[in-house]
Structure formats: structure tokens, C-alpha cells
Amino acid sequence: MTFTAAVLAARTREFLAAHPPAATDRTDFLRARFDAGLAWVHFPEGLGGLGAPRTLQAAVDSELAAAGAPDNDPRRIGIGLGMAAPTILAYGTEEQKQRFLRPLWTGEEVWCQLFSEPGAGSDLAALGTRAVRDGDTWVVDGQKVWTSSAHTARWAILVARTDPDLPKHQGISYFLCDMTDPGVEVRPLRQITGEAEFNEVFLTGVRIPDAHRLGAVGQGWEVARTTLMNERVSIGGMRIPREGGMIAPLAATWRARPELRTHALHQRLLELWVEAEVSRLTAERLRQELAAGRPGPEGSGLKLTFARLNQEISSLEVELLAEEGLLYEDWTMRRPELVDFTGRDAGYRYLRAKGNSIEGGTSEVLLNIVAERVLGLPAEPRDDKDLPWKDLTR
């Protein structure tokens, strides 16, 4: 069948007639939407999609929004939508896709990402968490860190070392870990904002069925790269309206508080506004390119820009507000389900933006990716790529 925006809009209206949002339970509505192929239209039939071009999702979403239909709270389940789902689709078995994608999309099961470790953050391939096979299960021991949403997650995407005798990129496998299993311990990490939105996770004798391995044994680095590429696009390439994101509260304050304005601040605001708009349009173009295939290293450049702009914009907002910018209404320890950049004080935005150049890949690592894979520059000399992991200095 040939899909067009008109065809999908008509199909969505038919769906709404059969499932009136005002008269349908929210979870039942979301499940029915997934089953109708209107969740993410570019996914295959039976997995929340119709095999249609990704660009036609907008036709579905606009009809649903006009009807006041509930969404799946995408910010709360962003790790599942932006990282776990595309990886499961690319490498999962048919059974894994059927089991995990529907409750992931409806938000009934929240996901987190067990990748970084205390000794393997920027150099993720050096990770030391071990997975040892025991019949049809794997016994996992190790520690993960900076795990957003681990305190609310039911499932995790996990990378662990399954063969220490191979070089570090080759001896890794990828698993789907049940966060409610015995041996999984989640501890909060309080950050500079006073919150604890992320955690450290200790894995002690956690038994993961081999049926929850994603990809072949030893293929974990390849699978993880798919996750990381999608993560960077989901962080830096999220769809926002014009003058949306971090520039929005700064522009609103500028318009509402003329007594704060100076010529120098005006010039900086204009420059950042233009950069934010260029970044927004670049993200739109990247999403259009995604319709033709998987994300490439270009997402790393977009995520780099996202981090730098957020930090510069939040810094200018604090400077504009002067002593008011230092106020921060709530320093109490909280365990939020999601990060709210725009609905909080300027001081919160300034502090929280510091993490943007670390999460989702540090800016230093992303600069290397852009240099090598986008610009084609020679890689820096390394002497550890061919050594067995067990022989590396740690």
C-alpha cells in the first residue's frame, strides 16, 4: 500500500472514531493506537507501525493532538523510546520485539541504560562488568553509574564483558536486564542541583536468561553503537518549536523585563537565538535523513551543539537576571522521574546544563567522533585496541 499524509490522516480519524479519547481509558487508548500501527508509523506492521515513511508520523500526531488524545508522556520514557526501541528493532529476535516494544511505547514499562561504569565512562569499551554463562543464563557482576531513571525503571539495556581474553571492543555482549531481579541494587547519586535523577547500580549475581541477550555473543559493541547513535540524536535532535527549548525562557525574560537589558547582552542574545534556530533546523534535517536509514555520526555533532548552547544560554540568563539569577527555589533531595529544563528557575537551568556536555557521550569523545567519522581526519594513535582486555592497565 502507498502511504501519504492524507491516507494516514484519514486512518487516524477512523481510529479516533472507534476509540474516542474522552471515553477511552488512557492505557487502553495507547495500546489500541500501538496495535493500529499509529505509534511510530515507520516501524513494521504488528510492532506499532505500518512500514510507512517516518516523515508521515506528523500527519498522525496532528490529528491526534487536534482530538485531544493522550500521548505516551515521551519525556518520561525517553530512554526506552530513543535508545532501547530502535536497538531492539535492529537486533532483537521476533519474540523480543513482540514482548518489549508495546509496553515500552505505552509507558507501562520504563527503561534505563546500564552502560557507564566508574572506570569506563568516556572509554565505554573498557567496561569491566562481567557476564559469565551458566547454562541458559548469564550471571552478571559489576557496577554501573550515572544511570538516569534506574529508580523508576523496570528494564535496562546492559552491556557486559563476556570474554576478557579478547580485545576490549570484541569481548562485550548486550543484554536486557530486569531491574526487579534479585541482585540489582539502585543507589541515588545527588547532583549539583540537589536532585538525584540518576543513580549508581550494583549488580551482584544477577541471572539474565540467554533469551534476553540482544545480538550475538561478542556483538555487544556493535549493538551498543546503534544505541549510542540513537541516544545522541534523541538528545540533540529532539523536535522543538521555533524559539523552543532553553532559548524560550531567556527570550521571555528579555521581553518581560526591559529594565534588565543592555546593548552587550542584546547582542549576545541575538547571536544565541540565531544559533539555537540553526541547531533546530539542522535537527529537522537530520530527522528527515533518518527516514532513509539508521542515524550516523552526524548526530554527535548535533549533540555537541546542544550541550554548548544550553550552557551558554543558561549562563546568559543568569547574567541577565543578576542577583535574581542566583535564586533557586528548591535544594531539597528529590527523585524526579524526568528532567524539566524550562519549568524551573534560571539557577536550576544553569546548574543542570553543566551535565549536558557529559551525558550521552562527553563532548571530548564526540569531538573525536566528528573528527574521524565526519571530517575523515586520521585517528589518534592507540596501543590498546588489539590487546586482550585482561592485559589492559586499569
Q: According to the model, what pLDDT value does residue 238 have?
A: 66
Quickly state the pLDDT bin for 298 (edges 50, 70, 90). low
More confident residue, 355 or 251: 251
**Cα–Cα distance for residue pair 314/347, rounded to 1 Å:** 8
pLDDT band at 331 (very low <50, low <70, confident <90, very high): low
Catalytic residue among 231, 243, 275, 317: 231
**At residue 209, does pLDDT exceed 60?**
yes
How high is the pLDDT of residue 150?
95
**pLDDT band at residue 366, thresholds of 50, 70 and 90?**
confident
Residues 260-282 have a mean pLDDT of: 93
Of 207 and 1, more confident? 207
pLDDT at position 385 is: 78
**Average of per-residue pLDDT across 72-101:** 95
- Rounded CA separation 104/40 (Å): 12
Output the pLDDT for position 382: 78
Question: Is 90 exceeded by the pLDDT of residue 198?
Answer: no
pLDDT range class, residue 66, cuts 50, 70, 90: very high
The pLDDT, as a whole number, for residue 24 is: 97
Q: Which pLDDT does position 339 carry in this prediction?
A: 67
Question: If you average pLDDT over residues 42-70, what whole number do you get?
Answer: 95
**Averaged pLDDT for residues 21-41:** 97
- Tell me the average pLDDT across 88-101: 98
Specify whether 109 is catalytic: no
Mean pLDDT of the chain: 90
- The pLDDT of 141-157, averaged and rounded, is 95
Residue identified by cell 543507589 is: 187
Predicted pLDDT at 325:
87
The Cα–Cα gap between 202 and 143 comes to 5
Q: Label residue 173 by pLDDT band (50, 70, 90).
A: very high
Report percent pLDDT > 90 for the chain.
63
- Region 119-123: mean pLDDT is 81
* For residue 341, pLDDT beyond 90: no
pLDDT band at residue 51 using 50, 70 and 90 as cut-offs:
very high
Q: Residue 240: pLDDT band by 50, 70, 90 thresholds?
A: confident
Walk me through the domains of the chain, giving residue ranges and CATH numbers: 5-66 (no CATH), 81-87+89-93+108-218 (2.40.110.10), 224-374 (1.20.140.10)
Q: What is the mean pLDDT of residues 43-48?
A: 96
